[in-house]
Amino acid sequence: MDLTTKNVLNFQETVEYTGIKPSYLYKLTADKVVPCYKPTGKLLYFRREELEDFLTGRIEHQKESKNKTQKNIRHNKVSELCRPRYGPKHER
């Protein structure tokens, strides 16, 4: 079957489709760079559309996304600490 028509690819098909070496693909999945699915808890499956997004740079690295979220949380906490508080508890 033609890999360009399949929606879900197994690990070996993903290696063939992307041209990425198996060891590097395992690293990318372990680092959560490439989204994968383990419905049975063992075998890896990939959505072709998500692979295309990764290969064309349209998918954001999850670690980068997590770092951005953490920065936003820290920024919001600092903003809350610097914000004047008014109301019954915080009247001047």
Per-residue pLDDT of the chain (92 residues; tens, 9 = 90+): 688 889 999 999 999 999 999 999 999 999 989 999 999 888 999 999 999 999 988 766 555 555 555 555 455 544 444 445 555 555 55
pTM for the model stands at 0.62
> In Å, how far from its chain's centre is CA 27?
14
Q: In the prediction, which pLDDT does 58 show?
A: 74
Secondary structure E strands in 3-77: 8-10, 45-47
Angle ∠(61,62,67) on CA atoms, nearest 5:
100
Closest to 66 in 3D by CA, of 32, 39, 42, 89: 32
